Copies of this chain bind each other. A is one copy, B any other.
Amino acid sequence: MTQMPRHVRDALQDLMVEYAYAVDALSDIDNLLDLFTDDAQVDMTAIGLPMMYGRGDIKAFFDTVFETMSHHFHFMSNYRPESWDGTVGAMTSYVIGMGRAKDGNTVTVQVKYRMECIEQDGTWKCRHYTISPMMPLPGSLTEIHGEA
């Protein structure tokens, strides 16, 4: 592959961090949705959560998550450029994700994120986001966030 330019790497890494802050705020769904293209696909099936097509699905999923959870903590590292074709860039990262539901249930996962991103009107957005498990998943994950 062509090597991803540093400014694209920085932009994608910043986008992933923004995602963590937006998800962990547990409020302001629009702030979260703004990080995705209108037709973005989010594939959480590998961890037993839904496949989402477009912002409508993403909003529906996170509306429930924001309603259900009292605490969130998505800790990101090991950023790595995966591909770059001059327009579309993909980056992976490792994530320790923690959550506590309002009912007191808690969950911790160790996963990998892959975000495929594109620039729209000067802003980088994610158009395809996949989560893969790295360590065995706890049973409480689907219990807390619902099944796919």
Question: CB-CB < 8 A to A136: which residues of B?
Answer: 71, 100
CA distance A24 to B93 in the complex (A): 13
The answer, among B17, B24, B77, B134, for a CB contact under 8 Å with A76, is: B77
Question: CB-CB < 8 A to A135: which residues of B?
Answer: 71, 73, 98, 100
A7 to chain B, nearest CB (A): 9
Q: Is the CB of A80 within 8 A of B134?
A: no
Q: Is the CB of B110 within 8 A of A94?
A: no
Question: CB-CB < 8 A to A78: which residues of B?
Answer: 17, 20-21, 74-76
Q: Assess whether A79 is interfacial by the CB under 8 Å rule.
A: yes
A67-95 contacts to B, CB under 8 A, are 71-80, 94
Given A71-B134, A134-B24, do A77 and B80 touch, yes or no (CB 8 Å)? no
Given A24-B134, A100-B135, A134-B24, do A75 and B77 touch, yes or no (CB 8 Å)? yes
Q: Is the CB of A110 within 8 A of B77?
A: no
Q: Assess whether A96 is interfacial by the CB under 8 Å rule.
A: yes
A28 to chain B, nearest CB (A): 16
The answer, among B17, B75, B80, B96, for a CB contact under 8 Å with A80, is: B17
CA distance A117 to B138 in the complex (A): 38
> Which residues of A are interface residues toward B (Cβ below 8 A)?
6, 10, 14, 17-18, 20-21, 24, 71-80, 94, 96, 98, 100, 110, 134-136
